[in-house]
Amino acid sequence: MKLNDLINQNCEWLKGTGPNSNIVISSRVRLARNLRYIPFAHRANKKQKEDLLKKIKEAVDTTNYTKGALFLSLADLSNLDKQFLIERHLISKEHALHSDSKAVIISDQEILSIMVNEEDHLRIQIMQSGFNLDEAWRIGSQIDEEFGKKLEYAFSQEWGYLTACPTNAGTGLRASVMLHLPALVVTKQINKVLQAITKLSLTARGFYGEGTEASGNFFQISNQVTLGHSEEDILDNIERIIKQILGHEQNARQALFEQEGAIIKDRIWRAYATLQNAHIISSRESVDLLSSVRLGIDIGLLKGLDIKTINRIFILIQPAHLQKLEGKALSAQERDVKRAEMIRRELGGK
């Protein structure tokens, strides 16, 4: 498998399958780990980082789940390639900066990605489609156990796994769920929901995680605290709260269509018609319109379309994806034209 092969496959988190996939886009488990006797990534020198890369590569090549995985040195990648990986949620924006002695490991179907020398030596990330944190944790725990036999982790009996940022110490576990919440946004209930989850030690971010704003009615909700809580407690807490949010969104959708059915249907059909006929369209407008179309599919209003197709469009309209598909760099206006062309093709427009 090569980097360019990724664009031709549907990544795991966009399959549109799994529990509650009409509202939950994906579930993610991320484990922060550091190796003993090597300074944290922001304190290590170049030789120490390169030695760590070699250790990680050896562990990857001999671990069952990662054997044969794609191993990419970020220093060898173009800025376009790095942006492409960010858009697929395989690396973070922070990881793409200052690429020396950094790498990413990507498994088949992109279920697993491991960032090497980001904030921590290892950021092990497992993605699953739909509301499926249990399966993400099962896979992540298994990989973590196998790596732990080959790599000596920095661990304290008092503090748990040691991490560069104290907020990640303890279990080192961050669990997150990507939600599509159009009804809560339209009915102006979303702020109350977000304020409530903050009091319950959770946080909400945008489509690309920390430091990004919510767009297209997508919200990534994750735990804030890892220290002093077991993995099971963290997962149980976020699952319980996500179930409540799902209930609120479902109730909001029902109330919305009972009270403003004609207005919502008009919004959905207008969004669909615009996407089918536009010849130039920005990324932001596309995401907002696709959100309405996705809602139309969820409620059975738009026939002949499926969530998988819409999810695929969501990723393909991103700037780096458009340029990778075109095989060359594109200006902002050229991307807007190609984006509209691709959407019309996918939706059977003119």
For the segment 107-152, what is each residue's pLDDT rounded down to a tens digit?
A: 988 999 999 999 999 999 999 999 999 999 999 999 999 999 999 9
Q: Regarding the domain delimited by 3-249, which CATH topology (the fold level of the hierarchy) does it fall under?
A: Creatine Kinase; Chain A, domain 2 (3.30.590)
- Tokens 């991490």 belong to 163
In the predicted model, is pLDDT for residue 206 greater than 80? no
What does the domain layout of the chain look like in residue ranges? 3-249, 250-347
The whole-number pLDDT of residue 67 equals: 86
pLDDT at residue 70, as a whole number? 95
pLDDT at 350 over 70: no
Mean pLDDT of all residues belonging to the chain: 92
What pLDDT, on the 0 to 100 scale, is given for residue 327?
Answer: 93
pLDDT above 70 for 209: no
pLDDT for the residue numbered 214: 59
Question: How many Cβ atoms from other residues are within 10 Å of residue 105's Cβ?
Answer: 22
- Cβ-in-10-Å burial (0-12, 13-18, 19+) of 36 comes to exposed
Q: Which candidate, 65, 72, 63, 68, places its Cα nearest to that of 151?
A: 63
Average pLDDT over residues 207-218: 63
pLDDT band at 211 (very low <50, low <70, confident <90, very high): very low
Name residues whose C-beta falls within 8 Å of residue 40's C-beta, 6 or more positions apart in sequence: 34, 119, 120, 121, 163, 164
Query: pTM of the entire structure?
Result: 0.92
* pLDDT value for 349: 65
**3-class DSSP state for residue 99?**
coil
pLDDT, tens only, 310-348 = 999 999 999 999 999 999 999 999 999 999 999 999 998
pLDDT at 237: 93
Q: Which of 162, 169, 141, 177 is nearest to 229 (CA)?
A: 169
214-245 per-position pLDDT tens digit:
577 999 999 988 888 899 999 999 999 999 99
pLDDT-based confidence at 4, cuts 50/70/90?
confident
Q: Please say whether the dihedral angle defined by the alpha carbons of residues 57, 59, 62 and 68, taken in this order, is positive or negative.
A: negative
Half-sphere exposure of 221 (CA within 13 A, CB side): 34
Identify the pLDDT of residue 300: 87
Structure confidence at residue 12 as a pLDDT band (50, 70, 90): confident
- pLDDT number for residue 226: 84
CB neighbours of 343 closer than 8 A, spacing ≥ 6? 275, 276, 278, 281, 286, 313, 317, 349
